[in-house]
Amino acid sequence: MIIISRTSNGRDFLFSSFLFFLFHLLFLFTKEWFSSCNSCNRDVMYAGSLGFGIASCAVNAGRGVFLYNFRVCQHPWAPSALAGRQQNVNHRDEVMEIIPTRFPGLWLIQPRVFQDNRGFFVETYNEKDFISHGIYYDFVQDNHARSERKGVLRGLHFQTPPAAQAKLVRVTRGAVFDVVVDFRKGSPTYGKWYGEELSGKNFRQLLIPKGFAHGYVTLEPMTEFQYKVDAFYAPEHDAGVLWNDPTIAIPWPVDQPVLSEKDQGLPLMKDFESPFVYSPV
């Protein structure tokens, strides 16, 4: 609520009013502009908006003309609100570590976990952090799978173009040995595999680009696996290769996995003509 107080000078009133709106407009403009600028330094973003907020508070408090119900000074980007967030501001770039692998386009994600006596809090996805690393995906579907037993193996799966999918995968309960195979023709890692243990304790994720086959085997019973994809499920484009293809030679930590009938009948890599082509950025 805006309250207008009396002043002994009409020009003083108009001048203060003008300054108030000028600084507040600049404050709002700066906030919105920096919010839309994914590559801007976040400390600069806070400092710029904070400066305009303080200026508008100071001008109006000094003139005694407007009392903005102290809401300007309590704006989320202003000092009183930032006081409790200062730790997040200082460490914002460390919240999610995005680590490249030797496979082009394949990233290991290690979120920062905030824990206390109540439990934990973690950011599992942050679009701005991804964009700051040149990673652009528009995820459209989230999937959740639970495996009752240890040794359940799902894979190796992918969707063919034009329904190919990039995936952001993680485990929220239990643990898996997660594997991807590069099927992009012309890639320096074509036909090679990469594996990582993902668990509800280590919070790791894999960002898998299009052109990779993906699979995992559970290391614990009652394991829950969740992932984002950037294309909808298309059964007519659903494909895969055999989990124990000798050409790929993945050292799965299980000899007799629990498999679906579908996964038992997948073809070998030598019998599959890959439709994926590697395009260096």
CB 179 within 8 A of CB 212: no
User: Is position 144 annotated as part of the catalytic site?
Assistant: no
Closest CA to 144 of 73, 258, 30, 226: 226
Question: Which tokens hold the place of 248?
Answer: 């790929």
Helix ranges restricted to H, 110-230: 127-132
| Positions of E strands within 9-151 | 66-67, 96-100, 107-111, 113-116, 119-122, 141-147
158 Cβ contact partners less than 8 Å away, ≥ 6 residues apart: 164, 165, 183, 211, 212, 213, 214, 239, 240
Which one from 137, 194, 216, 227 is the annotated catalytic residue?
227
Which one from 157, 194, 214, 216 is the annotated catalytic residue?
157
User: Is position 157 annotated as part of the catalytic site?
Assistant: yes
CA 50 vs CA 18, 35, 42, 113: distances in Å: 20, 13, 12, 28
User: Catalytic positions, please?
Assistant: 157, 227
